[in-house]
Structure 1
């Protein structure tokens, strides 16, 4: 990838991340908390095009999932104690797709609401012909919540999960 293309891509990512952060109004109410990214991959375990979120109760549960799937998102020594959420975009048949999770989240009732930006290639653009399934692993701040919901940059619910794996 050329330096100018990388620079343009980086600027686009920053813009979209900021727009996701600006959406906090519609995710509304509740207690504001921070989440931090712990890992990411362009090829996760998705077998269809459905977006999903999975909750892990501990770093050991994350490591167990990584060993079962062969996908390395994080090293055990780098994982903080606490819960994690794996947000999967779903399987795509070309490159150019991506996912970024906002650091700002909200606890509303007993649900943690995350905001993610779902990237898609521009129509008619050149892209690699390979299956991708982007995913992001985030460390969840402790709080009084059970379920996790993931909303996209347009405010649409993309995935929801209750409980832990």
Structure 2
């Protein structure tokens, strides 16, 4: 019982600090609606890269990405496919950490995931990717940051945005 009250007290003491930190970042606004809609191990790209998908005819033929990506497109979003490049085993990928709009730039931060150290993995070369639903308008460029080789990457919005 005492642990619960100490946790509650700790949260209560930290709340003003958190509000103060957020107040200093007025030019950055968190972006709702950006989410991972698919992941795959074999995306057929040897080098890291980005691909903006605006219609099903543009969608890469990759198992694991299509159904959720189609739903995102139908809901009025674009889909950004983030290619991680060639990796030596399965288990590599990316997870969305943060999405913000800063002065017209869509900034996406991903956390790089790797196989657990010491785990038994097949020695099979993979080319993983992550598909993200993103706004279909309101940004002039985007940037993807991730702690992996080949990043950060950026992309300009298509002229018909």
Report the TM-score range of the alignment, normalised by the length of the smaller protein.
0.5 to 0.7
Q: Which runs of 5+ in 1 are unaligned?
A: 1-24
Aligned equivalent of 1:96: 91
Shift of the 55–146 alpha-carbon distance from structure 1 to 2, 3 Å rule, reads farther
Listed as ranges, the matches of 1:1-165 within 5 Å are 29-34=27-32, 35-48=34-47, 51-56=48-53, 58=54, 60=55, 63-66=56-59, 69-72=60-63, 73-75=65-67, 78-79=71-72, 80-102=75-97, 104-121=98-115, 125-152=119-146, 157-164=151-158
RMSD: 2.9
Partners of 2:137 and 2:57 lie apart in 1 by: 24
Shift of the 150–65 alpha-carbon distance from structure 1 to 2, 3 Å rule, reads same
Which runs of 4 or more aligned residues in structure 1 lie more than 6 Å from their structure 2 counterparts after TM superposition?
Answer: none
Q: CA deviation at 1:82?
A: 2.6
SS of structure 2 residue aligned to 1:150? strand
Shift of the 122–64 alpha-carbon distance from structure 1 to 2, 3 Å rule, reads same
Matched residues, number: 129
Q: CA deviation at 1:163?
A: 2.5
Structure ranking higher on relative contact order (CA contacts 8 Å, 6+ apart): 1
Partners of 2:146 and 2:81 lie apart in 1 by: 15
1:76-130 CA-partner distances (Å, limit 9, x unpaired): 752321322111111112223121123x311112210001111123555432111
What is the TM-score normalised by the length of structure 1? 0.64
Partners of 1:77 and 1:161 lie apart in 2 by: 21
What is the TM-score normalised by the length of structure 2? 0.66
Shift of the 106–46 alpha-carbon distance from structure 1 to 2, 3 Å rule, reads same
Q: Which runs of 5+ in 2 are unaligned?
A: 1-21
SS of structure 2 residue aligned to 1:64? helix
Alpha carbons 1:32, 1:107 under 8 Å: kept: yes
Alpha carbons 1:101, 1:136 under 8 Å: kept: no
